[in-house]
Amino acid sequence: MSQRLDPLPTEWIERDRLVPFSFEGSRYTGYAGDTVSSALWAAGQRVLVRSFKYHRPRGLLSFANHDVNTLMQADSQLSVRADVTPVTAGLNLAAVNTWGGVSRDRASLLNALSAFLPVGFYYKTFHGRFFPFWERTIRKLGGLSAIDPTAPRLRTPKQYDFCDVLVVGAGPSGLAAAIAAAEAGAEVVLVDENARAGGSGSYQLGGDLDQAKQTAELIQMAAAQPRIRQHLQTEAAGYYADGWVPLVEPERMTKLRAKAVIVASGAFEQPAVFHNNDLPGVMLASAAQRLIYRYAVKPMRRAVVLVGNSDGYRAALDLAANGVEVMAVVDLRAVQVSPEAHAIRAQGIPIFSQYGIYAAETNPAQDGVCAAVICPLSDTGEPRLDQRQTINCDGIVVSVGWAPAANLLYQTGTQMRFEERVEQFVPDRLPEGVFACGRVNGVYQFDKKLIDGRRAGLEAAAYLGFAQSVPSPVPAAESESPSHPWPVVSHPKGKNFVDFDEDLQLKDFYHAAQEGFDNIELLKRYTTVGMGPSQGKHSNMNALRILANINNKSPQVVGTTTARPFFHPVPFSHLAGRGFTPERHTPLYSRHLALSAEMVKAGLWQRPEFYRQSGFSRADCIRQEALNVRQRVGLIDVSSLGKLELRGPDAAEFLERLYTGRYQSLKSGRTRYALMLDESGVVMDDGVIARLGPEHFYFTTTTSGSSRIYREISRLALQWRFNCGIVNLTGARAAINLAGPRSQQVLSQLTSADLSAEAFPYLAVREAEVAGIPAILMRVGFVGEWGYEIHVPALSAPALWDALMQAGAADGIRPFGLQAQRLLRLEKGHVIVGLDTDGLTTPAEANLSWAVKSDKPFFLGQRSLAIVGQRSQSKTLVGFTLPASFTGQPPEECNLVIDQGEIAGRVTSIAFSPSLERYIGLAYVPPAQSADGTSLAIRNSDGAMIPATVSSTPCYDPDNRRQKESFLTEAV
Amino acid sequence: MTLLTSPLADVLRSRPGTRQELNQMSVLTQVPDPKPAETLGLADLSYLTRFGVKGPQSASWLSAQSIPIPEQPNTWAALPEGGLIARLGRSEFLIEDGPDSQTVPRLAAACNSPPAQVYPVLRQDAAIALCGQATQNLLRQTCSFNFQSLNLTEHPVILTTMVGVTVTVIPQPKSHHPIYRIWCDNTFAPYLWQTLAEITTELGGTIIGTQDFIPYTGQMP
């Protein structure tokens, strides 16, 4: 605790609560309220991390969570931002990006080799046949943390929130804006990235605590205002359309929707560019002030203060007032207009005007600064080395300017202009509902920020109708520029860093420009400036000034890069949130689980793939299920099918336009296959249409197509203005397919309906009660057996399932899953849309021409189909079989059909048929190879060529004998 | 005879409590400790019977059946005998009986042979109810709609999505905190319920039975 100051009224620490923690294996003790950085700095630890590229020692820079100098790892927790992470008992920290620890990093050798590693060298070096080697090497060298795959999942539930006015930034202007808007009647959310409100009003004091008292009063007013909700330790990390702003809090992300947004986000203090400007001990003035006033830590013992504005003089006064010996104030400017200069001189501190720091000198331990080399600057900013002098110090404090934290403003669409008066970009035209105040608006002096904040708050309230008239006093102009236009001093040895994330030096920018990357966006991509975790908060402005200098253009002409959300790093856990993944269960889900079903995802649905039988393999289970349907009776849950109802006088005509078949002629009590095409004539969906009455149809779609088809049909119903109404019953009705030679026998026990072939023939539909449940029964044969598709209200489905299982017990009823169903329909040669067709398949190619009534006046896709029909067909779907003797690894879906070394087609379905005792399948082949008996060669996944033979479909029950009652009687 | 199964039966099966058969469905009516529901309570009201109707003539047909019609789309009204009617757009309606009313069977019978441009809609929704002081907290974690902006005296009906599931929500003003009625497609119900139940537990609430829910409503809607 050697660097701790006496207690200060502004400090955030609790001195009566000690907190032990460790860093790099050494034990430290901080106070409750300390951050990791403040506790380490107070303990004299200067090197906190190694730089990304050259592994140079780094200490505090911004002390504001805006740079990566203090990125650490705490056990499995990655990217711990030591500047703002509170110390907690037992915290075990390690520096990142080191080989052998932060003190003895073996990779620091790269610093000595830096002359051979200029920016862009990797574009020119790491390619060609050695690329894999370089890739591995770079991956080993790079990285800011080590991921622990066993780390427990953090609970980070997201939430939504809403407000009238969102104020981003709880500094003086933000507090004033929030209070003004709330007093006018608006519900305000006030966010700030710091643990407490107040911003610079609590630490940039110039040695005078009065400003801190005023700020504390503002904080109290905001806390007492019931219409203000404060979110501290929270970043407003982006701006999206309609006022959506993600608020990134320590434990979660809140998606906030604000009717108006006031950006009072302040400004990022900018570093100066000089040799060794990254040594531990060289820090921004605001960092030093935060160390003093928030954590009562002396930043250094002896300081040289480099200034380019009045803020620097106030920082020097703060240092002097808190026990730091200020060796000199080095002012980049020729003329001092800062009133604080008198106070500095009065304390006997020398001021060097129109001087710059030429270099910082490294101490013998190589872990900090020991002196500043200063020299006068010419009018063009060149150092006059003949007059240089060295001032011993253990810290250099830099206050040369600011860059507005305008990322959110850019994202709102605000047009910014470069204002030379304050040497920064300021809002030129704000979008409706967006307001700006304080430093981001070019207003720096404390009193003026309060005025500007109040103006913005009242304007936002008036925009929302809370205030009738708005007094809008605009604060007077700043008396001097808060930023210096050229805080850059060149040095022949380089190491004058512009971007601390990526170790980019001044010379790198000149090299980039020489290579032609002299546009701000190109420069960014070539040098990677602003692309590190800091996202350019401390580098973009200097990079822009350097490029403007190189091109002899103004910053306005050079422009800025795009500020995309999120502009501040966000943990992946926050983005993931709770992890909402909707899924659908049929009403029979628990029945399937009780029967040991292996469930599989089919779109959003969970469906039984097969039912596991103890002692049998998956393949055996599927074959048993299929054989049971062929020989006895099985039932399958087909509730996921799309189910639609259509009523009205135009219903039949509407269906005729939607589907390729004829439905005006379909008799009541009958069903018909239905094929739907898209406008280009491609197969889109299929199902069965049942006519329940003259103006009443009930029809199915594929499982995957149900929502899409309902939307499309609803759209067309509106567009075509037919007199009919459509109802989506996909979820409201469940369906069970009961199939097999004993299905009639089973069903007859549960219904009084006449199930005879005469009364209820193949492809008929009936409405009847089954087990006391009102049902729609369809005689369909998708799996190639006598069967019924039974559709009932969803809440009755479990009762129906139980009744069928009970009634069929004596007949050997068993459920069958998706795999058995696919096998059974494959034996029957039935096509599954989406499996045996793709996004280009026409009905002719899929052998579905029989379902297309081209002589109808109109149906969807008809015109395209006519055009396609004039061209020669390039592929056709055929059945194939493998030799009965085949025993190897069978082909899989999507394996290619090869002809003379070229791709001739592909397999769409394949399965082993227990009925035929061989593999059967469907494949697309050229029409010339589609004749029955043609030999095919299918390339297996492991590269083997498998012989196959084209065979006509269906290969099972080609005469449809099993749909005849005579066969049924015989089988039972 | 138990013919109907709640879409939430599977996820409630292991829940201890008293069950009764109501409207041909086994219903969790009471749980041993319903007190946490003062913070947040989650109940399954799927046993209440429902009827839907849509089409250009649906409003006039309902009027002819002596059903009060909410004048504005996306609003609801209480039914005289108990239950409610929600107008889900210009020409679609959801009618739900209260525990003791018989409006739905009457309408279903009357709509067996529907007149022109009246289309009955089979409703097999899962029906969920939320009560307690932390309902807003739960809603903010699951839905992007700002329920606090609503004027509940206008009887709003909200068609929105919750954790990715399309839902119909009716907030009902009650003595201390509004209760929220939520309807969704029954096939999404287990996922929606489990998500809501997980958050409810995290927030200190509990799952309750239909009888436990009554103190929060005064009477069933």
Interface residue B18 vs chain A (CB under 8 A): no
Instruction: Please check whether residues B178 and B114 belong to one and the same domain.
Output: no
Predicted pLDDT at A138: 79
8 A C-beta contact, residue A736 and residue A636: yes
**How many domains does chain B divide into?**
2
Please give the pLDDT value at position A970.
72
Mean of the per-residue pLDDT values for chain B?
95
Nearest residue of chain A to residue B6 (CA atoms): A795
Identify whether residues B42 and B140 lie together within a single domain: yes
* CA–CA min distance B49, chain A (Å): 11
Q: How far apart are CA A223 and CA A225, in angstroms?
A: 6
Determine, for residues B121 and A727 on separate chains, whether the beta-carbon distance falls below 8 Å.
yes
**Interface contact A796-B10, CB threshold 8 A:** no
Evaluate if residue A135 carries a pLDDT over 50: yes
pLDDT score of A337: 73
Select from A795, A796, A800 the residue whose CB has the most chain B CBs within 10 Å, as the one to mutate to test that interface.
Answer: A795
Q: What is the share, in percent, of chain A residues with pLDDT greater than 70?
A: 99
Same domain, B77 and B140: no
The verdict on B75 and B94 lying in the same domain is yes
Q: What is the model's pLDDT at position A471?
A: 64
Bridge partner residues of A167 (DSSP): A190, A262
pTM of the model: 0.89
Q: What is the mean pLDDT of chain A?
A: 94
Interface probe with A: pick from B143, B186, B188, B195, most Cβ of A within 10 Å: B186
- Given a cut of 80, is residue B33 above it in pLDDT? yes
Same domain, B39 and B131: yes
User: Where does a domain end: B78, B106, B121?
Assistant: B121
Same domain as B182, residue B142: yes
| B96, part of any domain | yes
Checking if the pLDDT of B142 tops 90, the result is yes
- Segment among A775-784, B103-112, B211-220 with least mean pLDDT: B211-220
Answer yes or no: are the C-beta atoms of A809 and A816 closer than 8 Å: no
Contact yes or no for A819/A624 (Cβ under 8 A): no
B124·A723 Cβ contact <8 A: no
Shortest alpha-carbon distance between residue B12 and chain A (Å): 12
Question: For residue A469, what pLDDT is reported?
Answer: 59
The pLDDT tens digits for A73-84 are 999 888 899 999
> For residue B1, is it within any domain?
no
pLDDT-derived band at B218, boundaries 50, 70, 90:
low
Per-residue pLDDT, B2: 63
H/E stretch holding A542 reads helix A540-551
CA distance B190 to chain A (A): 7
Q: Region B162-174: what's the mean pLDDT?
A: 94
Closest approach of A584 to chain B, Cα-based (Å): 5
Give yes or no for residue A27 having a pLDDT over 50.
Answer: yes
Whether residues B129 and B213 share a domain: the answer is yes
Exposed / middle / buried, residue A764 (Cβ in 10 Å: 0-12, 13-18, 19+): middle
B132 and B210 both lie in a single domain: yes
Contact B123 A732 (CB under 8 A): yes
DSSP letters spanning A915-939: TTTEEEEEEEE-GGG-STT-EEEEE
In terms of Cα–Cα distance, which of A882, A871, A883, A923 is closest to A899? Answer: A923
pLDDT at A68: 82
Of A25-39, A316-330, A548-562, B159-173, the one with minimum mean pLDDT is: A548-562
Taking the alpha carbons at both ends of chain A, their separation in whole angstroms is 93
> In A, which residues are within 8 Å of B7 by CB distance?
587, 794-795
Nearest chain B residue to A604, by CA: B188
Same domain, B66 and B160: no
Instruction: Tell me the chain A residues in contact with residue B136 when contact means C-beta distances shorter than 8 Å.
Output: none
Structural domain includes residue B213: yes
Any domain includes B4 = no
- Inter-chain residue contact A795 with B5, CB threshold 8 Å: yes
Same structural domain, B17 and B97: no
Sign of the dihedral through C-alpha A802, A806, A808, A813: positive
Express each pLDDT in A40-63 by its tens digit: 999 999 999 999 899 999 999 999
List the single residue in A581, A587, A796 with the smallest CB-CB distance to B3.
A796
Tens of pLDDT along A333-373? 998 777 889 999 999 999 999 999 999 999 999 899 999 99
Which pLDDT does position B221 carry in this prediction? 44
| Residue A8 confidence class, pLDDT cut points 50, 70, 90 | very high
**Residue in A with minimal Cα distance to B137:** A159
Q: Which amino acid belongs to residue A565?
A: P
Per residue in A784-816, pLDDT (tens digit) is 999 999 999 999 999 999 999 999 999 999 999
Which residue pairs from A547-551 have beta carbons closer than 8 angstroms and sit at least 24 positions apart in sequence? A547/A509, A547/A513, A547/A518, A547/A520, A547/A523, A549/A486, A549/A488, A550/A509, A550/A510, A550/A513, A550/A518, A551/A513, A551/A518
CB contact under 8 A, B13 and A160: no
Q: Is B201 a domain residue? A: yes
Question: B220 falls in which pLDDT band (50, 70, 90)?
Answer: very low
pLDDT of residue A470: 63
CA dihedral sign of residues A631, A633, A639, A645: positive
Q: What is the CATH number of the domain that holds B211?
A: 3.30.1360.120
Size of interface A-B (CB pairs under 8 A): 115
Q: pLDDT by residue (tens digit) across A728-769? A: 999 999 999 999 999 999 999 999 999 999 999 999 999 999
CB contact under 8 A, B190 and A585: yes
Residue B1 has pLDDT above 80, yes or no: no
| Residue B132 covered by a domain | yes
Q: List the domain range (segments joined by +) for residue B68.
A: 50-121
B165 interaction partners in chain A (CB closer than 8 Å) = 582
pLDDT per position as a tens digit, A489-547: 999 999 999 999 999 999 999 999 999 999 999 999 999 999 888 889 999 999 999 99
Q: How many CB atoms lie within 10 A of CB A14?
A: 12
CA-nearest of A664, A476, A577 to A156 is A577
Residue B209, domain member (yes or no): yes
- Chain A hits for B90, Cβ within 8 Å: none
With a cut of 90, say whether residue A879 has pLDDT above it: yes
Last residue of a domain, one of B100, B121, B142: B121
Strand pairing class (A696-701; A725-728): unpaired
pLDDT single digits (tens) B60-97: 999 999 999 999 999 999 999 999 999 999 999 999 99
Determine which of A224-233, A764-773, B158-167, B209-218 has the lowest per-residue pLDDT on average: B209-218
Spatial CA neighbour of A307 closest among A361, A276, A281, A270: A270
In this prediction, residue A1 carries a pLDDT of 47
Chain A residues with CB under 8 Å of a chain B CB are 157-162, 255, 257, 578, 580-587, 589-590, 605, 639, 645, 647-649, 723, 725, 727, 729-733, 772-773, 793-799
Contacts of B190 in chain A (CB under 8 A): 585, 589
Chosen domain end from B80, B97, B121? B121
pLDDT at residue B211 is higher than 50? yes
Q: Do B129 and B211 fall within a single domain?
A: yes
Name which of A580, A586, A793 is nearest B163 (Cβ-Cβ): A580
The pLDDT of residue B104 is above 50: yes
- B75 occurs within a structural domain: yes
Q: Tell me if residue A235 falls in helix, strand or coil.
A: strand
What confidence tens digit (pLDDT) does each residue in A243-266 have? 999 999 999 999 999 999 999 999
Confidence at A399, pLDDT banded by 50, 70, 90: very high
Reported as a single tens digit per residue, the pLDDT across A148-206 is 888 888 888 999 999 999 999 999 999 999 999 999 999 999 999 999 999 999 999 99
Q: Judge contact between A722 and A654, C-beta under 8 A.
A: yes
Domain at B62, CATH number:
3.30.70
For the residues A127-145, what does the mean pLDDT come to? 80
Smallest Cβ–Cβ distance between A583 and the set B122, B146, B191 belongs to B191
Q: Are residues B36 and B130 in the same domain?
A: yes
Q: Report the amino acid identity of residue A730.
A: T
Percent of chain B with pLDDT over 70: 97
Whether the bond into A954 is cis, omega within 30 of 0: yes
